[in-house]
Chains A and B, each alone.
Chain A
Amino acid sequence: EVQLVESGGGLVQPGGSLRLSCAASGFTFSAYWMSWVRQSPGKGLQCVANIKEDGSEKNYVDSVKGRFTISRDNAKNSVYLQMNSLRAEDTAVYYCVTTARGCESWGQGTLVTVSS
């Protein structure tokens, strides 16, 4: 059974940083693209970033380019999202998701709140 467990969310001030982690199990992690998708009341569901199986290709939505960095460690079956220069509009539940085009399996999400 696929399991995705996110961690690292919390309350942060505008301009601050957070690093989200996702521990994956139950499938061959190194064989799948991985994604981060966020959900906020105001903007619904949004694909934030994704990363190829070997980490050689990454994509970001324009609103986070230059501020967020996705990475993975296949030896640890984990994917990460480093978030810098956080803004109020980044407030959302962040989900770790398997695959890119299909968004097949989802974690339970971790809440990020950007507020002073």
Chain B
Amino acid sequence: DVVMTQSPLSLPVTLGQPASISCRSSQSLVNSDGNTYLNWFQQRPGQSPRRLIYKVSNRDSGVPDKFSGSGSGTDFTLKISRVETEDVGVYYCMQGTHWPFTFGQGTRLDI
């Protein structure tokens, strides 16, 4: 199985400051169709996960542009340009290229 490794696992941030989460996969996530199926999710306390980013850098509808995704191959990053109170929660990366699709351990962001 593809192992997804996130860092850091805990991310204390100051309001208004940027934040960055790294995600590395144990093998390339480039699919035979040319797409790279790397997604980012936010899970607020007591809620279901919500997808923020799909295929590395595409923001989902309704996701603020302060969230951005980048990377290629095996190295990926989620950035939040200015952290707000509503961003508190756990962030997960997930690969959808190789079955079984797998998630990172999660990064807990708090203020």
User: Which residues of A line the B interface, CB within 8 A?
Assistant: 44-47, 59, 61-62, 95, 100-109
Contact = CB atoms under 8 A, between A and B. Distances in A.
Contacts of B101: 47, 100-101, 103
Which 8 residue pairs spanning A and B have beta carbons closest together? A101-B96, A45-B103, A106-B48, A47-B101, A61-B100, A101-B37, A102-B54, A59-B99
Nearest to B48: A106
B72 interface: no
A101 B99 CA distance: 9
Interface string B71-111: 00000000000000000000010101101111101100000
Interface of B: 37, 39, 41, 48-51, 54-55, 60, 92, 94, 96-97, 99-103, 105-106
A106 B39 CA distance: 14
B103 A44 contact: yes
Contacts of B100: 46-47, 59, 61-62
Given A44-B106, A47-B101, A100 B96 contact: yes
Given A47-B101, A95-B49, A100-B96, 15 more contacts: A44-B105, A44-B106, A45-B92, A45-B94, A45-B103, A46-B100, A47-B102, A59-B99, A59-B100, A101-B37, A101-B96, A102-B39, A102-B96, A103-B41, A103-B49
A105 B49 CA distance: 9
B50 to A, nearest CB: 7
Given A101-B96, A102-B54, A103-B96, A95 B102 contact: no
Interface SS, A side: loop
8 contacts: A45-B103, A47-B100, A101-B96, A102-B96, A103-B39, A104-B51, A106-B49, A106-B51
Contacts of A101: 37, 96-97, 101
A102 B48 contact: no
A107 B48 contact: yes
